[in-house]
Structure 1
């Protein structure tokens, strides 16, 4: 995947971090890392109470599922618009407004008592979540550079993994009081929004560059972005393949307890993914971005090979662990590659499109694997996924992924 350097590589968006001490950003980095976990918690925090909501409001399974999934569709559809706003205004205002909308619309679930109002709030909530996802990504990429950026991207991957573990746990604890309780966690967006408004630097793009490149021109100028987005979508499909279908595989092995199921499907992946993220900067100092992507694909392949063949319950834990390795390495690698391949004046759009493909991948994952597993078995579905992972690994071995800026 070779790409010539773009004319925007010397934009202030890229050079600003070099001129300022990285320590200036240490305080706001904590806020950005916390904010980056909010996209992870967007649906998972209410998942422990979805059955209670269904019973209380008299909902069908599909209607109940929309309480969790509605925001993902909104993020996928609106992310390109959010990206254009970031390119036009800079990341400070869209991220601040996104955090506030996230807190207000998400917290509205504390007061809603009908399905219509709950879904309406979740749709508005999706707008805030889209701005938070794109805004935190752009902010981290703008404020840090070089090895420091690799370290921050690894921390972000770890924060997402830990958030994927802790936020649902807190949601379950509050859900023991009332199904409205988990929605209180979304209110954390309000103080984060105020801190972001105060702490984030004012770095809007130069007026001559604002909104200059559309999506079509973006892909024509940087065609390798298509491949990186496809890899992001694939990673998302792989992750949700385990979230949705691993419980069925565990049931076939006689594992039914919710705590045990969560250990396999969430805890192990999150824990190992967090460790991979913490190790990312060290690995990046020794390995190229291409090598890290090949390791990710190899880990994904191994994960689904284990899930499709192993019959011993404890050995099955190796599958989610390998998946965590793949997720922990691929997320920061692809984020950096997409940012550096995009023209400087369109990096907001490029980052926001990651939201479209990631959340779109979550949505289509059960649609791709569900019919196959329904017609055969979970083991067959996982083995077919392993074959796809193996083909992906071979493809990445044959391709040369040039370093950023080449």
Structure 2
């Protein structure tokens, strides 16, 4: 190993020396606890304000269709800026990108309380989304920097568990704050400021020490992206969220409402069962990955999606919908953290920021395309065919995963 590589690895080696011993639980590690805080910050950006949408629509006199722009303008910067964020994180260091992003996220998000028009609110959400774009990709990048092999998989699983706890809890917190006024949920992004301070002074992270110029870096990054497994996993990540946002998030609640005439609380309880199941399964990902290959787990996950969607149209009573939501949660708890941990392990640390940012961009793309694609299917063929199309796409992805080659990084034994 040359001197440059020794210098590049010194942060990780020093970290590993005083990090977790064989008896200590990974989830107690201070770095992972800070990463959990980063993840929760990213999650609250949408889930905490969604209960306020009806009030915001009334206050600013906008239609239900336009209120969805509060999500679109926030996620759009992630599609556009993710490659740039990846380059900056690899060239400048993770903290130098993440800390200002957290500060921007906190300031712009909280400034929404001062918006006096819907256009101003959308502008502030867009600026907040610029900060959020980095937060969503760099938390997984840092996990890949700090943890190797099976520890990386376990850490990704724990992080996915925390994420799903957040998606369950924040709508309740946001709904409670809405009782005080539509703008109260927008105070929550302030937590990003103290988290930025923790990242700056306490979090261990990889800082590049390389003599590569930008041209050489881009050339080497492009070379690393020729890895077939990386490309397949990024595409799989996009399709995972195309299915999730297109079938489950966008149209499953509408199906429940039209088919069973439930209360909003009943819909919320049914949807929350998926998140809780996902959290429980993701927390056990380390054990699963020690027994099964990445390929096997991903095929299992997408197959579970297909089973869940297949039985939804034949469920006769509302409470039996817990069966497909729990099945779907099992698949979700396996697939997303498994994809992210494998991408982190496959990518060289000098280019990991770019790889994980491209994965984040693919997720944002899936979140955007999914509702449009399955909305078109709904318009042409009807609601039941939305679920049947979800079955078909899930099985196609499961078959495509067979093309992932098995090596020492796509197996976790």
Structure 2 length-normalised TM: 0.90
Distance in 2 between residues matched to 1:213 and 1:378, nearest whole Å: 48
User: How many equivalent residue pairs?
Assistant: 398
Find the counterpart in structure 1 of residue 293 from structure 2.
288
Distance in 1 between residues matched to 2:273 and 2:8, nearest whole Å: 41
Alignment of 1:195-206 (within 5 A): 195-201=198-204, 203-206=206-209
Check if 1:22 corresponds to 2:19. yes
Greater Cα shift, 31-40 or 76-85: 31-40
Alignment partner of 1:237 out of 236, 242, 248: 242
Check if 1:214 corresponds to 2:218. yes
Q: CA deviation at 1:120?
A: 1.3
Check if 1:331 corresponds to 2:336. yes
Q: Is the 8 A contact 1:255 1:261 kept in 2?
A: no
Distance in 1 between residues matched to 2:242 and 2:38, nearest whole Å: 23
Q: CA deviation at 1:287?
A: 1.1
Find the counterpart in structure 1 of residue 231 from structure 2.
226
Secondary structure at the aligned position of 2:327 is classed as helix
Q: CA deviation at 1:19?
A: 4.0
Distance in 2 between residues matched to 1:138 and 1:209, nearest whole Å: 20
Distance in 1 between residues matched to 2:367 and 2:73, nearest whole Å: 12
Q: Could you say if the C-alpha distance between residues 289 and 10 of structure 1 is closer, same or farther in structure 2, counting changes exceeding 3 Å?
A: farther
Distance in 2 between residues matched to 1:13 and 1:314, nearest whole Å: 54
Secondary structure at the aligned position of 1:208 is classed as coil
Check if 1:360 corresponds to 2:365. yes
Distance in 2 between residues matched to 1:72 and 1:396, nearest whole Å: 27
Q: Is the 8 A contact 1:161 1:271 kept in 2?
A: yes
Find the counterpart in structure 2 of residue 34 from structure 1.
37
Alignment partner of 1:175 out of 174, 178, 183: 178
Greater Cα shift, 41-50 or 302-311: 302-311
Q: Could you say if the C-alpha distance between residues 15 and 186 of structure 1 is closer, same or farther in structure 2, counting changes exceeding 3 Å?
A: closer
User: CA-to-partner distance for each residue in 1:94-131, whole Å, 9 max, x for gaps?
Assistant: 11111111111111112222122211111110111111
Q: Is the 8 A contact 2:260 2:318 kept in 1?
A: no
Alignment of 1:127-276 (within 5 A): 127-201=130-204, 203-209=206-212, 211=214, 212-214=216-218, 217-218=222-223, 220-240=225-245, 241-265=247-271, 267-276=272-281
Distance in 1 between residues matched to 2:241 and 2:63, nearest whole Å: 26
Structure 2: 5+ residue runs without aligned partners? 22-27
Greater Cα shift, 72-81 or 38-47: 38-47
Secondary structure at the aligned position of 2:115 is classed as coil
Structure 1 length-normalised TM: 0.91
Secondary structure at the aligned position of 2:250 is classed as helix
Q: Could you say if the C-alpha distance between residues 19 and 170 of structure 1 is closer, same or farther in structure 2, counting changes exceeding 3 Å?
A: closer
Alignment of 1:84-103 (within 5 A): 84-103=87-106
Structure 1: 5+ residue runs without aligned partners? 1-7
Distance in 2 between residues matched to 1:325 and 1:188, nearest whole Å: 31
Greater Cα shift, 217-226 or 159-168: 217-226
Q: CA deviation at 1:247?
A: 1.6
Q: CA deviation at 1:392?
A: 2.4
Check if 1:68 corresponds to 2:71. yes
Q: Is the 8 A contact 2:145 2:205 kept in 1?
A: no
Distance in 2 between residues matched to 1:174 and 1:81, nearest whole Å: 35
Find the counterpart in structure 2 of residue 82 from structure 1.
85
Greater Cα shift, 21-30 or 83-92: 21-30
Distance in 2 between residues matched to 1:341 and 1:194, nearest whole Å: 30
Distance in 1 between residues matched to 2:134 and 2:17, nearest whole Å: 26
Q: CA deviation at 1:230?
A: 1.2
Q: Could you say if the C-alpha distance between residues 17 and 299 of structure 1 is closer, same or farther in structure 2, counting changes exceeding 3 Å?
A: farther
Q: Is the 8 A contact 2:46 2:71 kept in 1?
A: yes
Find the counterpart in structure 1 of residue 385 from structure 2.
380
Q: CA deviation at 1:143?
A: 1.2
Secondary structure at the aligned position of 2:260 is classed as coil
Distance in 2 between residues matched to 1:10 and 1:316, nearest whole Å: 54
Q: Is the 8 A contact 2:85 2:354 kept in 1?
A: yes
Q: CA deviation at 1:85?
A: 0.7
Find the counterpart in structure 2 of residue 5 from structure 1.
none
Q: CA deviation at 1:308?
A: 3.2
Find the counterpart in structure 1 of residue 9 from structure 2.
12
